[in-house]
Structure formats: C-alpha cells, structure tokens
Amino acid sequence: MTRKSFSSPDKSLSTDDYKVRQLLQAGTSRLHSKLDKFSKLSLLIQPDCNLHQYTDAMCRLAQAYKLLDQALWAATSYNPKGLFEYQPRSSWLERDLIALGKKLPMDFDATLPLPPPSSTGSYLGMRYVAEGAQLGGQVITKKLLSSDLASQLDTIGSFWTDFSQPANQWPAFLDSLEQLQYRKEIAHAIRSARVTFKHFIHYMT
Ligand code: HEM
C-alpha cells in the first residue's frame, strides 16, 4: 500500500489537522448540499413546515436509517478499538412514526440495498455520514422547536428532541478517522461516504 503523504496521525491534532475529514468533506460536499437544499429534509427547516410534509420526511428518514442501522450493525467488527459504538437510530424514528399513525415498510420504493461495509475504511466512511448527520440534526431540531409543529414535538419528534449523543462524540469520531493511514483505505472511506449520502438522497428526494 502507498502511505499517504500527510503528517503522522500520532501527533496531537488541532482542528486544522483533520486531513482525512477534509478529504471526506471535499468528496461529499456536493451530495450534502443536495440533501440540505433540495431534499424533503430541507422542508423541516422552514418555519411553516406542516404535518403532512413532516410525516412524509419522517417516513423516508425512518426507512433510510433502518437500512443504515442494519449495514453498520452487520459490520461492527470493523469498529476501530477506542471508537464509541454506533447507536442505532431506527427505534426513535419508529416511535415517532407510530405517533404519526404510520409504520414501516412504506409504499415508496424501498428496495435499494445498502451493502454493509467490508473494511475499516469503508466502515468509517459510512460512520462519517451517520455521525455527521447529527450535526445537521441539531440545526433541524432548533428550527423545528420554533416552527408551527413545536407544540407536537414531544409526541412526534423524539428522534430530534430525545436522541442525542454526548457533545464530545464528533471530535472523538474525527480522531478515529485520522487513524486511517493509507491511500487505499482513505479511498474506501470516501467511496463509502458517497454511497451512504446517495442512499439518503434516494430516500429523501
Ligand atoms: C436539512 C438538513 C441538513 C442540514 C441543514 C445540515 C446542516 C449541517 C451543518 C450546519 C453542518 C456543520 C455543522 C458544524 O460544523 O458544526 C453539517 C455537517 C454534516 N452533515 Fe449535515 N445537514 C443536514 C442533513 C444532513 C444529512 C441527512 C446528512 C447525512 C445523511 C448530513 C451529513 C453531514 C455530515 C457528514 C457533516 C459533517 C461534515 C464535516 O464537517 O466534515 N447532513 N450539516
């Protein structure tokens, strides 16, 4: 394998030293924009988001996360030592769906499989999308709490208001990402992150 030319992952990392993260960001920013600007999720950050739009987005999100949870759980053996385990999101979403009078599976095309990662690089690429989505989730939660739906979130929005991870988990995740040393495994991570973003785009648009 070709060693990447970046500085050693051993040294203490300041934010600017997150080289692998920067590569992942660059490789997926166009796909992220598609999600936050043009997907059904973008409706959730509008102050007048209505119950119909919210329900549609939540059904799609629940389906997308169900497959993501399955893929990541099937690959826990690739979770690097020291990295906190992935916490499945589906149960929160399914609870909200029940409150909305819906249940999985949905009647839209839900047949696209999401293959489980088959290397540490591809596992971390998929985790990058899953953990990064929590950052976007914080933005969505804030907007929902000041939207027309705010008073109902206790019953239909546990995914946004109750599921939360300790604030230090994102930096801890980035530290694990920086342990990827080889071009080949970083390439796997980028490919996997792109596949995972496309998975969400498939369900959310
Ligand atoms: C309306 C929907 C969304 C909005 C408004 C949004 C917004 C944001 C914001 C503001 C950040 C940067 C947070 C920070 O640096 O403190 C972020 C990061 C991120 N989001 Fe989203 N997001 C949305 C949906 C999603 C979804 C659905 C996914 C994944 C499926 C996702 C994946 C990511 C990733 C991977 C990052 C980390 C990028 C990095 O800094 O390396 N986002 N998002």
Test site for ligand 1: of 17, 36, 63, most ligand atoms within 8 A of the Cβ = 36
Q: What atom of ligand 1 comes closest to residue 64's alpha carbon? A: 30
Whole-number Cα distances in Å, 51 to 59, 113, 141, 149, 150: 12, 29, 15, 7, 11
Whole-number Å distance, alpha carbon 2 to ligand 1 midpoint, is 31
| Tokens 């549609």 belong to residue | 56
Determine which residue's CA is closest to atom 31 belonging to ligand 1.
Answer: 133
Q: Which CATH class is domain 38-204?
A: mainly alpha
In tens, the pLDDT along 37-92 reads: 999 999 999 989 999 999 999 999 999 999 999 999 999 999 999 999 999 999 99
Q: How many whole angstroms separate alpha carbon 151 and alpha carbon 178?
A: 41
The model's pTM is 0.89
